[in-house]
């Protein structure tokens, strides 16, 4: 009987150790990543619907990559997208317009597809060093001729430390 109890305790201890190890890996890895995602209501992205991501930089000596994330359906009618990105540091704002190709000339989508939805992670800033530690904000707005821009399902920002 004592042998069975020891065996059960050893299995529970091993399970608990493995669970804590895996959990600590996820927590440890996610601390250097800011990942926002906003669902676009009715898949109609209007001019007024700016996507805002606020974040804190704790170590401005490190370089970061900043990406624009986009998901659209196969019914999206353009092969590209124009966006305006407003980079804010509390005092200054830098505005920049970006164009991203979403499809090849033959109409094949460049994003990764899952059924009828295509996903993209597109570079805004590469190897960027923030000027100081503190709070920052990135505001994204669609800059196409259509208002609303239909069949856009999600928009977001990904910020990760350069390895």
pLDDT digits (tens, 9 = 90+) for 38-55: 999 999 999 999 999 999
pLDDT at 28 over 50: no
Find the range with the poorest average confidence among 2-11, 32-41, 57-66, 105-114.
2-11
| Model confidence, pTM | 0.79
Contacts of 4 (CB under 8 A, 6+ apart): none
pLDDT at 24 over 50: no
Strand order of the β-sheet with 117-128 is 33-39, 152-161, 64-73, 117-128, 112-114
Ranges assigned E (strand) in 40-107: 44-45, 51-57, 64-73, 80-88, 93-101
- What pLDDT is stored for residue 115 in this prediction? 87
142, 82 contact by CB (below 8 A): yes
Contacts of 38 (CB under 8 A, 6+ apart): 51, 154, 155, 156
């Amino acid at each position: 009987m004592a042998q069975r109890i020891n065996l059960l305790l050893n299995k529970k201890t091993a399970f608990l150790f493995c669970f804590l190890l895996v959990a600590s890996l996820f927590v440890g890895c996610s601390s250097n990543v800011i990942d926002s995602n906003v669902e676009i209501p009715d898949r109609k992205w209007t001019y007024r619907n700016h996507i805002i991501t606020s974040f804190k930089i704790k170590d401005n000596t490190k370089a970061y990559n900043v990406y624009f994330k986009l998901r659209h359906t196969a019914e999206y009618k353009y092969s590209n997208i124009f966006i305006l990105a407003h980079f804010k540091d509390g005092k200054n704002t830098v505005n920049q317009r970006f164009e991203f190709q979403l499809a090849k000339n033959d109409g094949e989508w460049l994003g990764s597809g899952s059924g009828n939805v295509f996903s993209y992670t597109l570079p805004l800033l590469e190897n960027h060093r923030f000027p100081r530690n503190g709070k920052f904000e990135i505001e994204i707005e669609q800059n196409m001729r259509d208002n609303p821009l239909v069949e856009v399902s999600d928009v977001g920002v990904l910020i990760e430390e350069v390895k």
